[in-house]
């Protein structure tokens, strides 16, 4: 199976500071990957590097077997990489629907499809971005990323700080995207068990380096190993 994403020897960070070092990973076209580790080990930096938001020091990034290491952020988005950062970055002065339409690119995702995925957004389509709850803002951030019809979706801690009922809704959406859509997905999440329960593969970072890469099910079935890996260092 061809690869949606391949990183080889990637070193990146912010300015002269290196945060992730010698990172190798491969993700198949319809694969899903959980990125785990303690706070500050480089998980967010890894996603930001794939999207082009960091200072690149060494290595190579390929997207569908084409090098993207040196191309700008907007071009990566045009080629089909969707990114949902921790900060969500919802436009507060636009309505829910305007937030969606501003990100639209030709493809299989439309406003109507996003509303079908997130009925609560349909109910609040005329509300401004700063008039909806945190959980609804997260739905909107994911929906806006989908409006670009991505073939690779990067989710940075989408469940953080949300009520359990919203977490359940978002987990089901992630599962649906993985199972029903023609995209690959990388999920950064503090709750290792939740992330492992919906993904095929897992990767654990420690001090910016990969210390584990393997099937999610195997790691989920070995709680002591999971704990040791995630708390390593």
Reported as a single tens digit per residue, the pLDDT across 125-160 is 999 999 999 999 999 999 999 999 999 999 999 999
* pTM confidence score: 0.94
User: Residue 42: which region, alpha, beta or left (left: phi > 0; alpha: psi -120 to 50)?
Assistant: left
Instruction: Give pLDDT tens digits for 17-29.
Output: 999 999 999 999 9
Give the residue ranges of the chain where pLDDT is below 50.
none
């Amino acid at each position: 199976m061809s690869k949606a994403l391949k990183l080889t020897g990637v070193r990146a960070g912010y300015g002269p500071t290196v945060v992730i070092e010698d990172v190798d990973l491969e993700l198949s076209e319809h694969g899903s990957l959980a990125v785990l580790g303690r706070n500050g080990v480089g998980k967010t930096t890894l996603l930001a590097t794939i999207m082009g938001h960091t200072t690149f020091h060494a290595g190579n990034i390929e997207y569908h077997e084409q090098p993207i290491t040196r191309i700008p952020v907007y071009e990566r988005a045009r080629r089909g990489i969707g990114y949902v950062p921790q900060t969500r970055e919802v436009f507060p002065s636009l309505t829910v629907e305007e937030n969606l339409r501003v990100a639209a690119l030709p493809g299989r995702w439309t406003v109507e499809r996003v509303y079908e995925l997130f009925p609560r957004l349909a109910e609040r389509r005329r509300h401004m971005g700063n008039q909806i709850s945190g959980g609804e803002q997260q739905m909107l951030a994911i929906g806006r990323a989908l409006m670009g019809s991505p073939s690779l979706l990067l989710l940075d801690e989408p469940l953080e700080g949300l009520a359990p009922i919203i977490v359940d809704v978002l987990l089901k959406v992630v599962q649906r995207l993985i199972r029903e859509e023609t995209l690959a997905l990388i999920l950064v999440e503090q709750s290792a068990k939740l992330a492992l329960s919906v993904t095929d593969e897992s990767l654990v970072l420690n001090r910016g380096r990969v210390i584990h890469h393997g099937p999610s099910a195997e790691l989920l079935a070995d709680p002591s190993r999971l704990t040791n890996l995630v708390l390593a260092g």
